[in-house]
């Protein structure tokens, strides 16, 4: 509770400083240095305290230039604090900001969501969000995490792009991806290297060939590429093609394409390719062929030509070696996905390149401290450091691929799990001197695995945790023995009559409904019938009354057997406490029956429960069915938008619930149509008074703009006074009455009898 109140104080102080007092320094004092701001300024995003300070100062300066000094007041609604862990939390609030300028008042409403971390004895803002109006309270707890996942994925994608660009520096080519759609190849992505290779800027290339990348393929090579991509490659995973592309200036470039096909999350076929400019090699090969022919015609120049050919061959071999090394890097990058990619020099213990932050690049790593730098200067356990050293040794001894899982504390002080994979790269002498490394953050996966293990252990413990075990002889109708492990179960002496005892227990500790189910399953007659039917097990769940007045859900499991010697029919009765699981199940059932927007019953549950009520009606027990429809609801949506329309539906659900008792049913059965069933004897006067009160409450719902549309509703009513009717019948009667109201101009009530 202390943390919750402190977090609320920070929310109020932050809003007051930034929006009321307009004191930027005071507002950012509540933030960490690496705070993230979303929905801030024209760019919509800021990634540090200084960036946020600049945005806020610029905004205030523009306001001062646009108008005279204004006075601000803030009102808060629905302030909610969610503690995610001991050091992370979120606070949510609806805020109305009143602005008074030149004796004119204007209002603006927004939702403020802050994410905070606990550091050095106090809470600080680490992220401030501009929240869509459609965000529901149920999604508040997951929204910051979902936003963090999305942001991290974006940042990591940017980091991977920089790594690929670093690797591309040693290649004449790059990476691109395309979709395969109806004989066309829409652009999926590309890096700057591909665009530069063809004489375009990246933006110019994307605008020109976004719809179909095949337009850049040389006309004579298009059928060759199409044949392989659409007929041969779909049966394979990886492929290699060699063809020509047309540059912006009209010239041609020969490329070799190493690709891999995959399927994106929407089921579309995607090709990811590494391309290399081999024009020089092709030209050299063509020259080689020409000069070989020339050698056959000019025997007298054989010696000179041989020397020249040897030089060209050496040049080709060197270029091929460089291409092979670069292609190996891309092959490894394509086969593995990770948050961090780096290349490590095993001889000098040096990181050659990495996509970590700039401060962690090009660090000389000692064998003792290697792990600390692999994870962005995080701190590893001793066991984790030993794991990293072990796989480094194995790679250096000739192993081509090794990985390990380590636990580390990152620079924010948060402990996580990481998988480090190393792939050895041999040099021209087949000696492994370098390794490409991949570091994947598997914290969420590992925590899920641990949680699943703990959940499974708990589940097994519940199954094994029997409150009591009874041995029963059904042929003699007696208890033979018992083992009781819980005070809520009774010791039953041997030879106690079974049938009489079960009836006594059910009368003493169970409700009428549970007693019926209990006895129908476990009475002697029911059990003997089960024996005849060949059943091996019977189960029944019920609630019992504890001495303290509370109810607890229990389950009886009766295992049936026949004594092989005496042929007597016996059973082992296991009593288990299933209170937690049962209540969770009932809660999920209730949630499935509720309308997600208004919280009242949905259409299916409404029909089910009203049908049950109707089945119990007689001359004494009566009921009233009402159908409520919002007048001109489409005009409300068109005028104020669907968000306000949804808010109206929520308020009407609240109004109906306020006048419903525990025995009444309130549900939403259509877009703006509600249904209510009130149990009990009611006179026409009292029913009509209730309906008018509901109409009056609807008229009091405030619209966003003063003087706008006045809300109203129409209500059709039918009285169920004992005659057995189905839901369909009473619904039609109330609906007919509703149309009487609409025909009379809406905004009123009518009984079914009035419209006959």
Residue 362: CB atoms within 10 A of its CB come to: 10
Strands 713-720, 748-751: pairing is parallel
Residue 455 burial (10 A CB sphere; 0-12, 13-18, 19+):
exposed
Please give the average per-residue pLDDT across 52-59, as a whole number. 85
The sign one gets for the Cα dihedral 634, 637, 642, 648 is negative
**Active-site entry in 672, 721, 735, 754:** 672
CA dist list (Å): 330 to 327, 519, 707: 5, 71, 66
Please give the average per-residue pLDDT across 289-309, as a whole number. 69
At 157, the pLDDT band (50, 70, 90 cuts) reads very low
3-state secondary structure of 323: helix
DSSP 70-111: -EEEEEEEEEEEEE-SSSEEEEEEEEEEEEEETTEEEEEEEE
Please give the average per-residue pLDDT across 176-202, as a whole number. 84
Tokens of 236: 């394979």
Tokens of 428: 């021209």
* Cα 465 to Cα 554: distance, rounded to the nearest angstrom: 12
Residue 147 burial (10 A CB sphere; 0-12, 13-18, 19+):
middle
**85 versus 695: which is more confidently predicted?**
695
Contact between 270 and 261 under an 8 Å Cβ cutoff? The reply is yes
Contact between 537 and 559 under an 8 Å Cβ cutoff? The reply is yes
Residue 167: CB atoms within 10 A of its CB come to: 20
At 589, the pLDDT band (50, 70, 90 cuts) reads confident
Q: What percent of the chain has pLDDT over 90?
A: 24
At 432, the pLDDT band (50, 70, 90 cuts) reads confident
Contact between 111 and 131 under an 8 Å Cβ cutoff? The reply is yes
Name the packing angle between helices 633-640 and 642-658 (round to 10°): 130
Residue 560: CB atoms within 10 A of its CB come to: 19
* Cα 380 to Cα 371: distance, rounded to the nearest angstrom: 7
Backbone angles phi, psi at 291, to 5 degrees: -75, -25
Task: Report pLDDT for 236.
Answer: 61
Lowest-confidence region among 360-369, 376-385, 402-411: 360-369
How many alpha carbons fall within 13 Å on the CB side of residue 322?
Answer: 16
Lowest-confidence region among 187-201, 405-419, 555-569, 600-614: 405-419
Whether the pLDDT of residue 734 is over 90: the answer is yes
Residue 670: CB atoms within 10 A of its CB come to: 10
Task: Report pLDDT for 702.
Answer: 85
Q: What is the pTM of this model?
A: 0.33
Tokens of 305: 């030509």
Beta-sheet strands, E only, within 449-601:
466-473, 478-484, 537-545, 551-562, 569-577
Please give the average per-residue pLDDT across 710-714, as a whole number. 92
Question: Model confidence over 491-512: pLDDT tens digits?
Answer: 999 999 999 999 998 888 888 8
Question: Model confidence over 682-709: pLDDT tens digits?
Answer: 678 889 999 999 999 999 988 876 667 8
Tokens of 108: 């603006």
- Count of all residues that appear for the chain in the document: 756
CA dist list (Å): 409 to 127, 371, 380, 413, 416: 21, 11, 6, 5, 6
Residue found by looking up tokens 């050698």 in the block? 295
Cα dihedral: 613, 616, 619, 620 (round 10): -80
Residue 594 burial (10 A CB sphere; 0-12, 13-18, 19+):
middle
At 164, the pLDDT band (50, 70, 90 cuts) reads very low
| DSSP one-letter code for 703 | P
Strands 31-38, 45-46: pairing is antiparallel
* Cα 7 to Cα 113: distance, rounded to the nearest angstrom: 12
Please give the average per-residue pLDDT across 331-349, as a whole number. 64
The sign one gets for the Cα dihedral 409, 410, 415, 421 is negative
* Cα 669 to Cα 731: distance, rounded to the nearest angstrom: 11
| DSSP one-letter code for 381 | -
The reply to whether 672 belongs to the active site is: yes
Please give the average per-residue pLDDT across 209-234, as a whole number. 83
Please give the average per-residue pLDDT across 199-228, as a whole number. 88
Task: Report pLDDT for 360.
Answer: 38
At 753, the pLDDT band (50, 70, 90 cuts) reads confident
3-state secondary structure of 367: coil
Question: Model confidence over 621-676: pLDDT tens digits?
Answer: 788 999 999 999 998 898 898 999 999 999 999 999 999 887 899 999 988 999 99
* Cα 44 to Cα 699: distance, rounded to the nearest angstrom: 39
Task: Report pLDDT for 379.
Answer: 67
Backbone angles phi, psi at 561, to 5 degrees: -155, 160
Whether the pLDDT of residue 337 is over 50: the answer is no
- List alpha helices for 567-726, DSSP H: 579-592, 603-615, 633-640, 642-658, 684-699
Lowest-confidence region among 362-366, 534-538, 658-662: 362-366
């Amino acid at each position: 509770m202390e943390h919750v109140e402190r977090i609320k104080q920070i929310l109020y102080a932050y809003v007051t400083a930034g929006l009321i007092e307009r004191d930027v320094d005071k507002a950012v004092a509540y933030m960490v240095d690496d705070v993230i701001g979303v929905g801030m300024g024209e760019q919509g995003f800021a990634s540090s305290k200084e960036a946020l300070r600049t945005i806020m100062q610029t905004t205030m300066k523009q306001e001062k230039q646009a108008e005279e000094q204004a006075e601000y007041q803030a009102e808060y609604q629905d302030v909610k604090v969610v503690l995610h862990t001991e050091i992370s939390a979120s606070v949510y609030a609806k805020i109305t900001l009143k602005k008074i300028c030149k004796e004119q008042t204007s209002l603006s409403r927004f939702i403020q969501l802050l994410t905070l971390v606990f550091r050095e004895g106090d809470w600080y803002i680490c992220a401030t969000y501009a929240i869509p109006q459609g965000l529901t309270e149920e999604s508040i707890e997951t929204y910051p995490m979902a936003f963090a996942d999305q942001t991290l994925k974006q940042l990591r994608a940017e980091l991977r792009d920089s790594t690929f660009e670093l690797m591309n520096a040693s290649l004449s080519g790059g990476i691109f991806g395309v979709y395969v759609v109806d004989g066309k190849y829409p652009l999926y992505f590309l890096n700057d290297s591909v665009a530069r290779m063809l004489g375009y800027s990246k933006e110019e290339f994307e605008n020109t060939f976004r719809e179909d990348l095949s337009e850049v393929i040389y006309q004579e090579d298009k059928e060759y590429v199409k044949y392989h991509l659409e007929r041969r490659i779909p049966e394979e995973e990886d492929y290699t093609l060699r063809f020509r592309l047309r540059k912006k200036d009209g010239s041609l470039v020969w490329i070799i394409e190493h690709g891999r096909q995959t399927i994106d999350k929407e089921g579309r076929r995607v090709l990811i390719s590494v391309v290399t400019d081999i024009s020089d090699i092709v030209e050299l090969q063509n020259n080689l062929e020409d000069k070989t022919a020339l050698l056959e015609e000019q025997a007298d120049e054989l010696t000179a030509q041989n020397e020249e050919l040897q030089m060209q061959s050496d040049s080709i071999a060197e270029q091929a070696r460089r291409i092979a090394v670069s292609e190996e890097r891309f092959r490894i990058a394509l086969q593995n996905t990770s948050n961090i990619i780096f290349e490590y020099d095993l001889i000098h213990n040096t990181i050659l390149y990495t996509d970590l932050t700039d401060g962690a690049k090009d660090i000389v790593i000692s064998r003792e401290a290697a792990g600390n730098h692999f994870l962005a200067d995080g701190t590893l356990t001793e066991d984790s450091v030993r794991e990293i050293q072990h796989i480094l040794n194995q790679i250096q001894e000739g192993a081509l691929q090794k990985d390990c899982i380590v636990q580390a504390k990152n620079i924010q002080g948060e402990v996580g799990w990481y998988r480090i994979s190393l792939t050895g790269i041999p040099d021209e002498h087949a000696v492994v001197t370098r390794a490409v490394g991949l570091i994947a953050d598997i914290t969420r996966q590992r925590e899920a695995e641990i949680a699943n293990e703990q959940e499974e252990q708990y589940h097994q413990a519940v199954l094994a945790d029997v409150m009591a075990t009874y041995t029963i002889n059904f042929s003699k109708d007696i208890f033979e023995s018992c083992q009781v492990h819980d005070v809520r179960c009774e010791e039953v002496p041997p030879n106690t009559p079974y049938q009489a005892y079960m009836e006594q227990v059910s009368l003493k500790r169970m409700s009428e409904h549970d007693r019926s189910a209990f006895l129908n399953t476990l009475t002697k007659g029911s059990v003997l019938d089960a024996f005849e039917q060949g059943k091996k097990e019977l189960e029944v769940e019920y609630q019992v009354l504890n001495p303290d007045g509370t109810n607890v859900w229990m389950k009886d499991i009766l295992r049936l057997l026949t004594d092989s010697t005496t042929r007597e029919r016996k059973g082992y009765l296991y009593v288990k406490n299933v209170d937690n699981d049962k209540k969770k199940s009932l809660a999920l059932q209730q949630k499935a029956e509720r309308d997600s927007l208004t919280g009242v019953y949905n259409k299916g549950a409404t029909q089910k429960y009203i049908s049950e009520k109707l089945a119990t009606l007689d001359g004494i027990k009566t009921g009233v069915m009402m159908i409520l429809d919002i007048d001109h609801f489409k005009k409300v949506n068109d005028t104020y938008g669907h968000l306000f329309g949804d808010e109206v539906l929520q308020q009407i659900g609240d109004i109906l619930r306020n006048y419903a008792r525990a025995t009444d049913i309130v549900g939403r059965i259509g877009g703006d149509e509600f249904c209510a069933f009130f149990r009990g004897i009611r006179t026409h006067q009292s029913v009509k008074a209730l309906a008018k009160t509901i109409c009056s409450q609807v008229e009091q719902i405030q619209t966003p703009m003063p003087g706008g549309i006045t809300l109203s509703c129409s209500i059709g009513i039918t009285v169920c006074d004992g005659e057995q009717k189905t839901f369909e019948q009473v619904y039609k009667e109330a609906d007919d009455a509703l149309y009487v109201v609409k025909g009379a101009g809406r905004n009123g009530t009518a009984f079914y009898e009035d419209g006959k």
